Amino acid sequence: MTLTRPPRLGALVGPVKIDDVSKTYGDGRSAIIALDHLSLEIADREFVCLLGASGCGKSTLLNLLAGIYRIDHGAVDTGGRRIGMVFQEPALFPWLTVGDNIDLAMRLRGVPSRVRPSEVAELLRLVHLEGFGQRRPHELSGGMQQRAALARALAQHADLLLMDEPFGALDAMTRDRLHDELERIWLGSDLTIVFVTHNVREAVRLGDRVVLLSSRPGRVVAEFSADIARPRRIDSEPVARLAAEITDRLREEVRRHGR
């Protein structure tokens, strides 16, 4: 199943560029440097996982990419991509049905009303929520809400999907299946995905590349290319091996703060 989406602006879409970006919260002595001269390039249609301990500025980076926060220094170039975002909590609008949540995303993008119902139905089918369009968000389980949030982000016709620990609050079994679901959707689309997590296995399970960030201030410490055939399983041997390697590196990074 593929998404109906308008054609890309150019035949070749350049990478997403994060160039020498810094971001500080507060000022004076209480200032916290969240990101310190961070540079990163993400290829078109790449699935990149940002990994790091608390305070590494993962979420800050996503919010900068989304244009929610202002950049203090440096530049971000998303290559004209449309941006969709999924948060740790579903953040569905509780006053709308699941279907209307998805519909609103299209409406705000100016999609004409006559094509919206069929697209809503298609997106609900894509995330396996057929028959739940008329339900309210609170009537769904956490995993279903997060799938609905994913459908809403896709409804924006996003090219660049920013995901901020989207499965962090779910039970392990649901999370495993949502990994499969996300991988399936990504493989059948043009999406470039930046996925933030503090779960190493999750990062290796999903990403083409895992970028390890240091904490306070956030910088890129290491990058790992996950050359593992898809579809993957979180409990497979190659995933476990790379995850162990990354975990060692991550612990080293965390220890540095205790000294």
Partner 1 sequence: MVADPATRLAEDLAGLDALDIPRRDGLDLVRRTWSAAWPKLMAVVIVLGIWQCVVWSGWRPSYVIPGPATVLRELGSLLGDGDFYRAIVITMQRAVVGFSLAIVVGSAVGMAVSQSPLLRRAIGSIITGVQSMPSIAWFPFAILVFRLSESAILFVIVLGAAPAIANGLISGVDQIPPLILRAGRVLGASGVAAWRHVVLPAALPGFVSGLKQGWAFAWRSLMAGELLVIIASRPSIGVRLQMARELSDAAALMAMMIVVLVIGIVVDGLVFASLERRIRCNRGLLENRAA
Q: Under the rule (CB under 8 A), what is the footprint of partner 1?
A: 66, 68, 83-85, 87, 89, 91, 93-96, 104-105, 107-109, 128, 136-144, 147, 152, 156, 173-174, 177, 180-181, 184, 231
In the bound state with partner 1, the residue whose beta carbon lies nearer, of 228 and 254, is 228
Q: How far is CA 258 from CA 63, 151, 210, 215, in A?
A: 28, 41, 24, 12
For the bound state, the minimum distance from the C-beta of residue 230 to partner 1, rounded and expressed in Å, comes to 11
Which among 162, 154, 129 is positioned nearest to 143, based on CA atoms? Answer: 129
Q: Which residues contact 177 (CB under 8 A, 6 or more apart)?
A: 143
For 38-41, the CB contacts below 8 A with 24+ separation are 38/74, 38/213, 38/218, 38/219, 38/220, 39/74, 39/220, 40/211, 40/220, 41/15, 41/16, 41/17
For the bound state, the minimum distance from the C-beta of residue 28 to partner 1, rounded and expressed in Å, comes to 22
Integer Cα distance of 52 and 151 in angstroms: 27
For the bound state, the minimum distance from the C-beta of residue 98 to partner 1, rounded and expressed in Å, comes to 12
Is residue 36 a contact partner of residue 215, using CB atoms and an 8 Å limit? no
Is residue 150 a contact partner of residue 70, using CB atoms and an 8 Å limit? no
Count other C-beta atoms under 10 Å from residue 91's C-beta.
Answer: 15
For the bound state, the minimum distance from the C-beta of residue 105 to partner 1, rounded and expressed in Å, comes to 5
For the bound state, the minimum distance from the C-beta of residue 145 to partner 1, rounded and expressed in Å, comes to 10
In the bound state with partner 1, the residue whose beta carbon lies nearer, of 17 and 177, is 177
For the bound state, the minimum distance from the C-beta of residue 248 to partner 1, rounded and expressed in Å, comes to 32
CA atoms within 13 A on the CB side of 205: 22
Q: Which residues contact 2 (CB under 8 A, 6 or more apart)?
A: 188, 189
